[in-house]
Each structure stands twice: as structure tokens, then as C-alpha cells.
A = this chain, B = another copy of it.
């Protein structure tokens, strides 16, 4: 059930059954010569909808611009500053908390978001009361990174070994190929990729990773792999979401 395609009376009815919501968060950033700039948002959104279908959950609108300052050396990358993204999340959650939502389950597609999202959760718990949300001490947020789910990392290791890398990975590229088979890109991947994971300023990033990839070989990706990743992630995150709702 998508919030964007629901009416407010439907949400009102939903709140009788559940106080949980799934919020996809991605990014808009270069993903190497062949990866889609929206990869992280596309993946998070698709998996979130898959989880919601399985669990009868509501999915909020995708936060599609995240924290990708280090990718700004590549054209088309768009980023919020951490201080901005933090406020976005606080406003988003405060809105819903006023209606009685209490369990906020983020499905995230981008490692660069993790720190800011976690910081925002902490700020939200403190601010919710200032903003007169009901029962602020009962609010709970959870961040699930689909690409770190054990079933996903296991599959990636089996399929790609070391060539999975850490950015513009074949696993995420495969998933976008499965979701948008008409948007499969090819390009020569001739630049030698580096596998170090240190990330500093945007210009430094581009110098280290000249075509945007970090130790990855996205040419290994196939839509069929993408489907496998999709199914693995949806299955595992559906259980995780239900455990989150059920937990004390």
C-alpha cells in the first residue's frame, strides 16, 4: 500500500491496524559508467514496495536525494548536506507521528546516508516532544540497509566475489536491470578501479575513483541476478520489519 496512491481515509483506516510505515531512502549520484544515477533510490523503493506487499505495510514517499556530497565531482550527482537531510527526516517523521504512526522503518539504498539518518533519528526523538507529537517516548525508528542484509551479501559474494566492490556494485546494478530492463547501459570499463574504501572530499573521490566505481565490476550484473537480489532482500526485510513491529 503506497501512501502516495492512498487517500487520507484509507490511511486513517490503516492506522487502526498498524502504526508502522516503511520509508525508502536512496540517493541521486553517479554509479560508474554504466550504473544509473538513481540506483540507490530505485533499489530502495522497489524493495520497500516488495516488503510492503508481503507485510500489508504502508510505504511513504521515497527520499530520493540523500547524502552524496562525495559524488559531486561527477555531473548529475545531487546531494543534500547532512544538516539539511537531518531536518528533512525530522520533518517527515514529525508529520507522521502527529497522526499516530510510531514505527518508522527505513529501507536504505546508500551507505552515505547511514550516518545522517542515524543522527536524524536521535534528533527526532528529542524534537518530537517539542513539536507536540503524542507519546514521544513510544516512537521507534529502524534503519535497514538492503545491501547489507546477510542473504544479499552472501549472494553477492557467490556471484561476484571480490568484483562486488563497494560502489556501483554489480549487485545494485543487477537490481536496477531487473526493475528497469529498458535502462540497461553498457560502456567500456577500462579504467583501473581502486578498492580502497576511504572517502573524503568530492575532488579527492574523483581522483581516486576516476570513473566512479569503487572496486567493482558492474559488467557482471544481469537482470536475473537482480531478481535474485530483489527476492532475497524482500524476504529478509519482511521478516525484519515484522520483528520490528512485534518487538517490545
- Chain A contact residues, CB within 8 Å of chain B: 2-12, 15, 28, 30-38, 41-42, 60-65, 67, 69-70, 72, 74-84, 86-88, 91-92, 95-96, 98-100, 112, 114-120, 122-123, 125-132, 136-141, 180, 183, 185, 187, 196, 198, 200-204, 207, 212, 247-248
Contact = CB atoms under 8 A, between A and B. Distances in A.
Contacts of A118: 114-115
How many copies of the chain does the oligomer comprise? 6
Contacts of A137: 200-204, 207
A3 B28 contact: yes
A38 B9 contact: no
Contacts of A120: 82
B82 A123 contact: yes
B202 A67 contact: no
A42 B6 CA distance: 12
Contact of A200 (B34, B67, B78, B140): B140
Nearest to A61: B64
A28 B4 contact: yes
16 contacts: A2-B38, A6-B76, A8-B76, A11-B37, A12-B75, A15-B75, A61-B78, A69-B123, A72-B126, A76-B99, A82-B123, A83-B86, A114-B115, A115-B115, A138-B201, A138-B204
Contacts of A185: 7, 10
Given A120-B82, A132-B130, A7 B28 contact: no
A177 to B, nearest CB: 11
B136 A201 contact: yes
